[in-house]
Structure 1
Amino acid sequence: MVNSSGRVFAEPRISAARRPDGTVLLSSQVPLEPYDADLARPLRRWAAERPGAVLAAERRSGGWDELTYGAALADAEALGEALLERGLGPDRPLMVLSGNSLRHLRLTLAGYLAGIPVVSLSTGYSLSGGHERLRTVTGIARPGAVYAEDGREYGAALAALAGLAPRTLVGREGGGEPLGELLRTAPGERLAAARAAVAPDSVAKIFFTSGSTGRPKAVPNTHRMLCAVQQMMRQVWPFLAETRLTLVDWLPWSHTFGGNHNLHMVLTHGGTLAIDDGGPTPELLPRSLRNLAEFSPNVYFNVPAGFALLAEALECDSVLAKTFFARLGLLFSAGAPLPAELRERMLRLAERFSPGKVRFTSSWGLTETASAVTSAHLDTDVPGAIGVPLPGIRLKLAPVDGRLEMRAAGPTVMAGYLDDPERTAEAFDEEGFYRTGDAGAPADENDPGRGLVFQGRITEDFKLTTGTWVRVGALRAALLASADQLGEVVITGSGRAHAGALAWTRRAGDPAAVRRALAEALARFNAGQRSSRRIERLLLLAEPPDRDAGELTDKGSVSQLEVLRNRSAQVDLLYRDPPPPEVVLPADHAD
């Protein structure tokens, strides 16, 4: 998967400037080239040039339901007119409660055409426990209508929104106005006028960040932001200009990774998206494997938890591995640092089963930046590497509590949170850079082109009672890399004498043997390390991360802060003296 020049990645050209206070300013020397004014343009372009090409496919009983570019445009125009007739518009968005689907996609494209912002919510808002958070975000967004794929499955959520949204739309099973009726609407002058009013700074989407630490923040994403980031990626991945992108992707459209970076990459470049109804958990993985057995992607996106499960499956199934790697040219991991051992496993599989060279890359970005800020568009084996600033992005590394906080400015950065001036003011520094709260450091102090290494959330770091800082992101990544028995860990120790860990094993095994292996792994891990880099105690958790309690995100990553908040009893057990039998001590400390 290379372009006519033989390149997958463009060569990074990065300038760096250092200030006396330790601040580092990084930017690409490659100018950002022109890009579409709005996301309706690529839809119209591909519908005209390749109307029969498949934009997206969704598994149905008996096969796959396909949506072509020509049909997608016709459906979006009908729905756009219908939504406008029902009072939706720039200030009255459409809120989608259910997950990825062709109907969800049709409504999203209709919003792009008609200037109606789309609010795609995590299904957790509707299907997990009570609906207080759902009512809160609905009050912030003030939608003109809410949509659910299944009126019965989402019936309780729709009932909870009575009085907060004027209209309810459903894909099937009643409970609201059927989407099929809206699809019979003939587009007219109302849609034409609304389409003419869509501008680069019109809001295309509204995302909600986690509300675990307070009132959820609404992030407007404009057409300019979303189109600019696709042009940035096109410039650092030259193959996109000549490759018909084919994705098999489960990543939820309620998050910027799946809903912006991946979905819009397909739309912008005239590719095909097979909607994967699986995911990065043991329960959902079989669905993903079934889909990957029928669709061969040429670029594959996932998170580390998903790659860990996929690697095991591919190592056990050579037929599946041959199909998976048949057309694959690029593997991409984001959402959390990828353990080096897992990266090597996937590349070894590629060497066995791929007919060509497969590259492995990553990037870093946020909801507030319309997805990617940096991209590792170079071959690197540095753990946690996130690459260099994309063309058009200015990145500031600002000293904060002994770390370097990564702050971003450019056309992909939001102007501010929706109706939240106080938190908007707090989000930007005195030079207008967005404060991401993420720490990073140069991979090579003497060569900015080697990029940055992600070092975790600054807010997750803590001090021991000795006054020593524990850098949670780096410690977590190092522990996972050194103990292959562990699937996920949460670092503990704030206000304690030493750091510890709550952990989940990667696979089942004899409990006594697993504990012995972990005790030996901890001893090796701690050898020669200072106190802030040692794990003195570890407790294995039987219950998996609780998605309903916010411990597991839709992307499959574990929330350090939520686990610690919800499992304070286990943390207290971990630090009890003398240590109870279930606590694993390093082998050189065990009795």
Structure 2
Amino acid sequence: MADQARGPALWQPEVEMHTGPDGTFYVRQKAPLDSYPARMNERLLHWAETEPSRVWMAQRGDDGEWQRVTYSEAAAKVQSLAQAFIDLRLSADRPLLILSGNSISHALVALAAQHVGVPSAAIAPAYSLVSSDYGKLRDIRDQLEPGLLFVEEAAPFAPAITAVFDPSVPVLTTKGEIPGRETLSLGALAATRPTDAVAQAFDATGPDTVAKFLFTSGTTGSPKAVIQTQRMLCSNQEMIADCYAFVRDVPPVVVDWAPWNHTASGNKVFNLILYNGGTYYIDDGKPTPKAITATIRNLREISPTWYFNVPVGYQMLLDAMETDDQLRTTFFRHLSMMMYAGAGMSQPVWDRLTAVAEQMVPGGVLLAGGFGSTETGPFALMCTDRQDRAGNLGVPARGVELKLVPQGDKLEARVKSPSVTPGYWRNEKLTQEAFDEEGYYCFGDALRFAVPGQPDKGFFFDGRLAENFKLDTGTWVAVGPLRATFTDDMKGMASDVVIAGENRDRLAALVLPDWAALRALVGQRDLPDADLLAHPVVRRKAAQMLAEHMRKATGSSSRVTRFMFIEKPLEFDRGEVTDKGSINQRGVLRNRADLVEALYSDDPRVIEPALSEAQ
């Protein structure tokens, strides 16, 4: 049994709202945001001085053991690398491009660059390692014109680097070299002796200095370089520390796999540790059937105090916890909070997760969600009230004003705060389009009140406006909420769904199966995927779930009438899914148009409702 006796210290927000003459709602907390540093690396230097021996970051070495770096070691290496970057004449016009994934070396070079006012950009490794034409990598190159590339190991990235980047751009690496190109050793640069130029460059940075660029996933076109200033990073961390008040008293410990090229971990989790003097264990696993074993190994050894995962990741951990007592015990030993994001969490996963938390911790552990984007820091809304189901996104953080603009029967969400980006790098047109006439950033998403007229009760996601479509009757379909509802109604058989039916007379769906659940259902672990989806037990159960969903639906815009399991995995390179696992609804429908057509035919793979249940 875990040792928590009561819940963690959290904010107690007082929320106020006023309504404009056109029906627009403005929602914010009454209390202002407290002060915050001018630059994030002030926190690194602070912890290096006050807690020099505390572990800042750890990762598995080649021998499988944890390799740890303290705050004092990190600060020394950051300043040495910062001097080397000055010597290389890096700048905002010649930034650092990081092509490989999460690692201590990745973290050090990113912090070293921003220490002296040089932006870095972490790029999804799949753009180099999975892509066949390097199209998105070329788009990124053209936007940033990097002065230095960093990769953990040279060999895997050599083909992409050779194909995409000018031979004059050097490569920094910990291992190997690329023929015909200047290759710099990270070890050698980390031994550079800092001069006064480092301190002078650090002092010259401030709130408006560009700390980094984060690229949107590019599922709807070329990736966009979202400017991340020091003001954004620092103000956002003060908002987070206000909300997760317990991190001020006990330095947070995280075990995290999510990629740093996304804002969720690249900004929020990475800087959560730095801001509050915590320890970051880099999880070398992922929420996939093969890679989850590494995550389980790590969580059997390290007890996080705050934990983040996508819903399918929690689902896989729950499967393991059912038979692994050590995993359950270690995971919950010091845990104060669990957060999910990246996709809607189905009710079966929510119920299983809260149930095991209550078994392990008196009173359970807060399971929460929030709302934000790459352009907002990301932290903008957060729900810390205990809920009985997923979906409540909470209330605005201190310093954030939420604007809800009527759009037909929807409320479009917009925000203004010091943690909102000033725009997109070298793209004035896109920047202007992202903000309204009052300077609010426009998400393109709709929210609805959890309780009408009561903003303190939080908000629910009400669909991405660009994803919604009409049936041939002219009836609008709110895709986001329907995806969440139908995933729930599949009772654990689906990990996510894609809704089809634009300009048709009825709705259908493509369903991403929960393979482990389906194999458990039929009791045959080694059955090939195609045979599993065609198994009579699976089809019969799925037909029953569909019939029950149809029975509860209130109209044609909320009723899926038939569906098909997707056998082949979604493809990152075709823009169907991000490397974090978020699904691009329109990308799947576009790329798998043949499956959509099959949904509306007599294809034997289509599952229709069990008639006795549907009537």
Give your verdict on TM over 0.5.
Answer: yes
Within 1, Cα distance between the matches of 2:333 and 2:363? 9
Which residue identity is paired with 1:11?
A: Q
Partner of 1:581: 604
Shift in CA distance, 408/383, structure 1 to aligned 2, threshold 3 Å: same
Deviation per residue, 1:52-78 (Å, 9 max, x gap): 100000001141110110000000001
- How far apart, CA to CA, are the structure 1 residues paired with 2:203 and 2:411? 44
1:512 matches 2:536? yes
What's 1:19 paired with?
20
Match of 2:531 in 1: none
Give distance in 2, aligned partners of 1:420 and 1:565: 27
8 Å CA contact retained: 2:7, 2:363: no
Alignment match, 1:468: 475
CA distance in 2, matches of 1:540, 1:468: 26
Give the 5 Å matches for 1:101-500: 101-128=103-130, 129-163=132-166, 166-175=169-178, 176-354=183-361, 357-484=364-491, 485-500=493-508
Q: Distance in 2 between matches of 1:4 and 1:191?
A: 47
After superposition, the C-alpha distances for 1:18-68 in whole angstroms (9 at most, x for unaligned) are 234332111111210001110110000000001110000000114111011
Distance 2:4 2:490 in 1: 40
Q: Once the 2 structures are TM-superposed, how far is the Cα of residue 5 of structure 1 from its aligned partner?
A: 11
Q: How many residues align?
A: 589
The aligned counterpart of 1:546 is 571
TM-aligned CA distance change 1:195 to 1:4, over 3 Å: farther
Residue-by-residue CA offset, 1:322-351 (whole Å, 9 max, x unaligned)? 111111111111122222321221111112
**Per-residue displacement from partner, 1:143-165 (whole Å, max 9, x unpaired)?**
11011111001111111233176
SS at match of 1:381: coil
What SS does the corresponding residue of 1:386 show, helix, strand or coil? Answer: coil
Residue 6 (structure 1) shift: 7.0
SS in 2 for 1:316: coil
Q: Is the 8 A contact 1:135 1:160 kept in 2?
A: no
Contact 1:23 1:398 survives alignment (8 Å) = yes
C-alpha separation in 2, matches of 1:425 and 1:242:
41
Distance 1:414 1:302 in 2: 25
CA-to-aligned-CA distance 1:111-166 (integer Å, 9 cap, x gap): 22111111001112111222121111011012110111110011111112331762
Structure 1 residue 213: Cα displacement: 2.3
- Deviating more after overlay: 31-40 vs 519-528: 519-528
Q: CA deviation at 1:456?
A: 2.6
CA distance in 2, matches of 1:557, 1:284: 17
Equivalent residues of 1:301, 1:331 under 8 A apart: yes
1:544 and 1:51, CA in 2 relative to 1: closer, same or farther beyond 3 A? same
Q: Which residue identity lines up with residue 535 of structure 1 in the other structure?
A: V
Query: Is the Cα–Cα contact under 8 Å of residues 25 and 405 in structure 2 kept in the other structure?
Result: yes
Q: Given residue 399 of structure 1, which amino acid in structure 2 is its aligned partner?
A: P
- Is the 1:337–1:454 contact (alpha carbons within 8 Å) kept by the matching residues of 2? no
How many angstroms does 1:355 deviate by?
Answer: 6.0
SS in 1 for 2:314: helix
Deviation string 1:463-492 (CA, Å, 9 cap, x unpaired) is 000101111111110111111211221111
Q: Secondary structure at the match of 1:422?
A: helix
Query: SS state of the match for residue 149, structure 2?
Result: strand
Q: Alignment partner of 1:546: what SS?
A: coil
The answer (yes or no) to whether the contact 2:354–2:364 under 8 Å persists in 1 is no
Secondary structure of the residue aligned to 2:348 is: helix
Contact 2:216 2:226 in 1 (8 A): yes
CA distance 1:15–1:569, change in 2 (3 Å): same
Structure 1 window deviating more from structure 2 (102-111 vs 538-547): it is 538-547
1:378 corresponds to which letter in structure 2? Answer: D
How far the C-alpha of 1:90 sits from its partner, in A, is 3.0
For the 8 Å contact 1:151–1:174, the answer to whether it is kept is yes
Q: TM-score, normalised by structure 2?
A: 0.93
Counterpart of 1:518, as a letter, is A
Q: CA deviation at 1:401?
A: 4.0
Q: Distance in 2 between matches of 1:189 and 1:322?
A: 49
Long gaps (5+) in structure 1: none
Contact 1:304 1:338 in 2 (8 A): yes
Paired amino acid for 1:277: D
Query: Which moves more between the two structures, 258-267 or 87-96?
Result: 87-96
Shift of 1:240: 1.3
Match of 2:550 among 526, 531, 545: 526
**Do 1:142 and 1:165's aligned partners in 2 also have CA atoms closer than 8 Å?**
no
Deviation per residue, 1:518-572 (Å, 9 max, x gap): 1111111111520001011101111122233222212122221221111111001
1:99 aligned to which of 90, 95, 101: 101
C-alpha offsets along residues 290-310 of structure 1, whole Å, 9 cap, x if unaligned? 111111111111111211111
Preserved contact between residue 120 and residue 213 of structure 2 (Cα < 8 Å): yes
- CA RMSD after TM alignment: 1.9
The separation in 2 between residues aligned to 1:457 and 1:305, in whole angstroms, is: 21
207-216 or 435-444, larger mean C-alpha shift: 207-216
* 1:69 aligned to which of 58, 68, 71: 71
CA distance in 1, matches of 2:453, 2:405: 18
Using the aligned pairs only, state the percent identity.
Answer: 38
> Structure 1, residues 81-119: CA drift from partner, whole Å, max 9, x if none?
001101102332100000000000110110221111110
Quick one: which amino acid aligns to residue 573 of structure 1?
A
SS of 2:404's partner is: strand
Unpaired segments of 5 or more residues in structure 2? 523-534
Report the alpha carbon displacement of residue 4 of structure 1 after superposing the two structures with TM. 13
Letter in 1 for 2:303: S
Q: Distance in 2 between matches of 1:121 and 1:420?
A: 19
Distance in 2 (alpha carbons) for counterparts of 1:433 and 1:147: 35
Q: Which residue of 2 aligns with 1:41?
A: 42
SS in 2 for 1:322: helix
Partner letter of residue 56 of structure 1?
A: M
- In 1, are the aligned partners of 2:263 and 2:378 still within 8 Å (CA)? yes
Secondary structure at 2:213's aligned position in 1?
A: strand
Matched position secondary structure for 2:502? coil
Q: What is the Cα deviation at residue 183 of structure 1?
A: 0.9
Q: Which runs of 4+ in 1 moved over 6 A?
A: 1-6
Does 356-365 or 164-173 show the bigger shift?
164-173
**Residues 222 and 556 (structure 1 numbering): CA distance in 2 closer, same or farther, change over 3 Å?**
same
TM-score by length of 1: 0.96
**2-side partners of 1:276 and 1:153: how far apart?**
21
